[in-house]
Amino acid sequence: MKIGLNLSFAVKRWLEPKFLSSMIRNDLETRYIQFTWDLLDPWWPSRQRDKIAREWSQAFKKEGLILTGTFGGLASYTYPQLMAPTAEQRKISLDFFKRAIDMSAAMESSSIGTPLGGMTHNDAYDEKRREEIYSVVLDLVRKLAAYAKKKGLEKIIIEPTPLFTEFPNDPKNSLKLMQDLNGTTDVPVRLLVDWGHAILEPFLKEQADMENWLNKCQPYIDSFHLQQTDGLLDRHWGFTHDGKLNIDSIRYVIEKYNLNDLIQYVEIIYPFEETDENVYDDIRKTMRMLQNSLGEGGY
């Protein structure tokens, strides 16, 4: 299978494009990378931002790395985004995502990916408001897809997240979202399924199984986030950690559903207070283990 790397592990640690690119090239056994907006904020003034964006993409290129897309990180996930309680805030979020598209275009990235946002408790638990917000969000995603096309991007990727205040958050409503958008957007909109979100038991109960997601949504799935987890909280652990996933169960699913061509982006999020030495060691071991047991032989 294809193992890629989301750059979340580097946040607050390795911020120089050349240094990080050579670390990935020499030590982290992959060539497919997904850039995180936690390394470069789409809100920054566009001229200076795009200059930095190009420094990143040129450094990746120099090391032979393939930037397959840019992706929302922890910072942007914190805000309500397209599901905010007021139209004014949702419009600001649309502008934010448009800026992320601009930044991605400057990096010659062909896609952006992100969760869609999160509702306030009072909206999430009011069935009528929930429906209203759902249809508003459909419209905003269509607007975003039109903008992506104008800027030369090829697709938009949506990551289901686990909370009840968010959507999509289970296999069924992920499929519904894809069907509702299908054929109505200027560029295709697809799903990225995060293993850690997909098997989170407190929310999904008996549905907390990757096979449920694949049985329902497979034709719409573009790629995956791969992380170790205990299924209780969204851990984003490295694979040096014991957890609910193991190499054999991942391999079983990949082979059964013929997923070898889709990229599994390793997305590990370390506590900020973890030492750089430990993070380096853990991500290196994680990538080597996954590449040796499941990968195409690495770089």
Least separation in angstroms between CB 225 and Mn ion: 7
Nearer residue to Mn ion within complex by CB, 201 or 234: 234
Find the radius of gyration of the CA atoms of the chain.
18
49 lines the binding site for Fe ion (CB under 5 A): no
Cα–Cα distance measured from residue 267 to residue 255, given in angstroms and rounded to the nearest whole number: 21
Nearer residue to Fe ion within complex by CB, 106 or 229: 229
Nearer residue to Mn ion within complex by CB, 209 or 234: 234
Residues numbered 224-263 forming contacts with Fe ion, rule: CB under 5 A: 225
Residue 230 near which of Mn ion, Fe ion, none (CB within 5-8 Å, type-dependent): none
Residue 222 near which of Mn ion, Fe ion, none (CB within 5-8 Å, type-dependent): none
Residue 55 near which of Fe ion, Mn ion, none (CB within 5-8 Å, type-dependent): none
Least separation in angstroms between CB 159 and Fe ion: 6
Cα–Cα distance measured from residue 193 to residue 190, given in angstroms and rounded to the nearest whole number: 10
Least separation in angstroms between CB 236 and Mn ion: 6
Cα–Cα distance measured from residue 51 to residue 148, given in angstroms and rounded to the nearest whole number: 20
Cα–Cα distance measured from residue 202 to residue 171, given in angstroms and rounded to the nearest whole number: 15
52, amino acid identity: I
Tokens 């040796």 belong to which residue? 292
Cα–Cα distance measured from residue 173 to residue 220, given in angstroms and rounded to the nearest whole number: 13
- Whether the CB-CB separation of 34 and 4 falls below 8 Å is answered with yes
Residues numbered 186-225 forming contacts with Fe ion, rule: CB under 5 A: 194, 225
The CA–CA distances, whole Å, from 118 to 22, 101, 111, 234, 290 equal 36, 20, 22, 16, 32
- Whether the CB-CB separation of 2 and 261 falls below 8 Å is answered with yes
Least separation in angstroms between CB 129 and Fe ion: 27
Residue 234 near which of Fe ion, Mn ion, none (CB within 5-8 Å, type-dependent): Mn ion
Number of residues that bind Fe ion (CB under 5 A): 3
Cα–Cα distance measured from residue 97 to residue 278, given in angstroms and rounded to the nearest whole number: 33
Residue nearest to Mn ion (CB): 234
Binding site for Mn ion (CB under 5 A): 234
Residue 168, preceding peptide bond in cis (omega within 30° of 0): yes
Cα–Cα distance measured from residue 43 to residue 32, given in angstroms and rounded to the nearest whole number: 25
Least separation in angstroms between CB 194 and Fe ion: 4
Least separation in angstroms between CB 197 and Mn ion: 5
Instruction: Rounding to the nearest 10 degrees, give the CA dihedral for residues 96, 167, 162, 81.
Output: 20
Nearer residue to Mn ion within complex by CB, 55 or 230: 230
Least separation in angstroms between CB 237 and Fe ion: 13
Binding site for Fe ion (CB under 5 A): 194, 225, 267
